[in-house]
Chain A
Amino acid sequence: MNGLVASDLHLRVGERALLDGVSLAVRPGELVLLAGRNGAGKTTLLRTLVGALVPHRGRIELEGRPLAEWPGRARARQLAFVPQGVDTPFEFTGRELVTMGRHPHRGRGEALRPDDVAAIDRALAMVDAAAFADRRVTTLSGGEQRRIAVARALATEAPLLLLDEPTNNLDLEHALQLVAMLRRFAAAGRAALVASHDLNLVAPHCDRVVLLHQGRVFADGPPQQALANETLAAVFGVHGAAAEGFFPRAFRLPGSGS
């Protein structure tokens, strides 16, 4: 397994360059945090990496094969995506939404097989969503909907996972559970790329942090290096300090006391 390798991605909308020469790799066994300011290009980059957006220049290789050459369903079995928000106007149950994650494995009109059901149950258990899986999504809280969305991606059983703000709206317990689950996911030889603003929560568990700034990779390395005070000051305009070690860090705006 070679993972996902992107090099020199350029994407512009009109005059605005959303991605301006981005290169990054997500290798098997890695949990990678994608960080950056609002509008830095994180969501654009994830959508490009999953093939929903086509870059104007640059190449993306999934398992050593250009992404665009993958047939849709075969790609979906290798690479799963959790977008922001739950996204249907209809009142599906959580389980029905997670069942959609099995689409890449099922032939047209084919009924659910036992291994499909097993994968769905596993996915629901991984995000602790089994208890409310049979409720209509519209009756679920924001955090519960997020967990259903993550479970749908997990149900594909793809070894590569791209997640856009998966911890949004999650309570503290389930946010920590999610990060621990992703850590185990990576430890099992798979890989995940997580876009998040929650640096204290996610970064300590990551192998690497890719810091995106104005459509470019500003830093790419271990958390201590990529989120060092100099880069934090340059990218976010804040200072960070930890009581001991590196995390958790107290962030403060410059000139706002200690």
Chain B
Amino acid sequence: MGNPVNRRRLPLLLLVALLLLAVAFLVFARQAPGPGTFLAWLATWFGGPAIEPADAFVFGQMRLPRLLVAMFGGASLALAGAVMQATFRNPLASPDLVGTAAGAAFGGASTIVLGLAAAHVLMVPLGSLLGATVVTGLVFVLAQSHGRFQVATLLLAGIALHTLVGALTAFVVTFTYDNYTASSRVLFWLMGGLDDRTWANAWITLGGFVLFGAMVAPRARELDLLTLHDDSAHSLGVDAARARRWLVWCACGLTAATVANTGGIAFVGLVVPHLARLLVGPAHAVLLPTAALLGAVLLVGSDLACRLVPPDWNLRLGVVTALFGAPYFLVLLARHRRGEEL
């Protein structure tokens, strides 16, 4: 369960791991430029001689934005999962299972199909936020009975809306089949991945993490209290219903800002908070930063793996995260069946 020394060292360890992975992410790829050119590129920042513009483009305009999307996307999804599990008082809640991610994908897809995406760079993330908020709000209302969220009800409501919204997204794709550009962009949401990410994607992901992360972080203690029954939270001075609505919305924001740029990336939001809880315990003041760092490490690592396998595998990021996420989810369900705490 992590003794106090480990607990204090762990964030530092994770940070070091993340930095190492980040460098590996920038350096290693199936094609050039490689490590030597990377050092030369770094040197240009400190007044070193200019390198091949094509190489500088690969580092500065291709790999770096992709790295940032993976890093802050992973952190955001993990944070969203941790917040949802506390606010729904349910260890199986997460952006994918509650339907938040599907709603965000649908919202983003709709803005593209309606032709709004061209108007402003923020249209897609705002559409995602709207979609995420509506779907999550519906699950929130449907799954709640007397201030509690039963595992079964929450999952059923989540699955129902997930399927419905997924079908709507599919309809949006087929409906606009004659518009090849739009429908291929929408297809991207169904697959999930980090190919061809630009600085616009990087800034939106980073911005979402900073904005909504800053709203969540000061409320770590309220998250602790929200895991109690509402009576207990109330008696300790927390307006549980209000705090819960606000924090769930922040989780929607974190999810939307990521999904708008990455599409659906399964299981990160579910599994990472669990791993973090195993490492540092459930107190959110420590859990939130640990989960965010762990999510970043996991997504950067997964995407690096995607890029390093033979190109003809065509391995998608969502497939990698599902490969480790789904078995873990099944283990959780098995434990739940045995009546253990999750």
Contacts and interface: CB of A to CB of B under 8 A. Distances in A.
Contacts of B234: 50-52, 72
Interface stretch (A83-91, A168-176, A193-201): A83-91
A72 B239 CA distance: 7
* Residue of A75, A77, A88, A109 with most chain B CB atoms under a 10 A cut-off: A88
Contacts, number: 91
Given A108-B219, A136-B1, A138-B341, A103 B236 contact: yes
The range of chain B's interface size is: 20 to 34
Nearest to A70: B237
B230 to A, nearest CB: 7
A122 B228 CA distance: 22
Contacts of A108: 218-219, 221
20 contacts: A52-B234, A72-B237, A80-B235, A83-B232, A88-B227, A88-B228, A90-B227, A91-B1, A91-B281, A91-B341, A92-B224, A92-B281, A100-B225, A100-B228, A103-B221, A108-B218, A108-B219, A109-B221, A138-B341, A152-B232
B235 A50 contact: yes
B231 A52 contact: yes
Nearest to B220: A109
A100 B236 contact: yes
B309 interface: no
A115 to B, nearest CB: 17
Nearest to B91: A89
B277 interface: yes
B23 interface: no
B229 interface: yes
Contacts of B235: 50-52, 76, 79-81, 83, 153
A51 B230 CA distance: 11
B231 A50 contact: yes
A87 B232 contact: yes
* Residue of B217, B218, B224, B228 with most chain A CB atoms under a 10 A cut-off: B228
B218 A92 contact: no
Contact of B282 (A79, A83, A90): A90
Contacts of B218: 108-109
Contacts of B239: 72
A166 interface: no
Interface in B236-295: 236-239, 277, 281-283
A181 B228 CA distance: 25
Interface in B208-222: 217-221
Contacts of A89: 89-91, 227, 341-342
Question: Which 8 A-B residue pairs are closest in the complex by CB-CB distance?
Answer: A76-B237, A73-B237, A81-B235, A90-B282, A72-B237, A87-B229, A104-B237, A88-B227
